Amino acid sequence: EVQLVESGGGLVQPGRSLKLSCVASGFTFSNYGMNWIRQAPGKGLEWVAYISSGRSYIYYAETVKGRFTISRDNAKNTLYLQMTSLRSEDTALYYCARCRTGGDMDVWGQGASVTVSS
């Protein structure tokens, strides 16, 4: 079964850091670009970051550029999102999603909840 499972979410104080992981199974992880997308409580979807299959291309939304770092370990079938200098507005459910050649996202995880609050 094709699956993505996020972990690492939690409650963190403003200004602190957190690292999310997304473990892939059921497909050849190293063949796909991957995205992080987030959804604030009661709000819509916001794209956060992208990394290509071989890590050659990395893109960030302006709202997280300079604070978040996307990375991957193809040997471990794992995608990461290192989040630093967290703000209250980063509070959201963070999804990882598989990105197909055309850019659409055909497999999503269940999400990892991040709450930034003192």
Partner 1 sequence: DIVMTQTPSSQAVSAGEKVTMSCKSSQSLLYSENKKNYLAWYQQKPGQSPTLLISWASTRESGVPDRFIGSGSGTDFTLTISSVQAEDLAVYYCEQYYDALWTFGGGTKLELK
Q: Footprint of partner 1 on this chain (CB under 8 A)?
A: 35, 44-47, 50, 57, 59, 61-62, 95, 100, 102-106, 108-111
| Cβ-based nearer residue to partner 1, 39 or 82 | 39
Asked if residues 24 and 9 have their Cβ atoms less than 8 Å apart, the reply is: no
* Angstrom distance (rounded) from CA 59 to CA 68: 11
Cα torsion at 73, 104, 92, 28 (round to 10°)?
Answer: -20
Q: Report in angstroms how near the CB of residue 18 gets to partner 1 at its nearest.
A: 20
* End-to-end C-alpha distance for the chain, whole angstroms: 39
Q: Report in angstroms how near the CB of residue 7 gets to partner 1 at its nearest.
A: 15
| Cβ-based nearer residue to partner 1, 28 or 110 | 110
Q: Report in angstroms how near the CB of residue 82 gets to partner 1 at its nearest.
A: 20
Residue 11: alpha-carbon gap to chain centroid: 17
| Cβ-based nearer residue to partner 1, 75 or 102 | 102
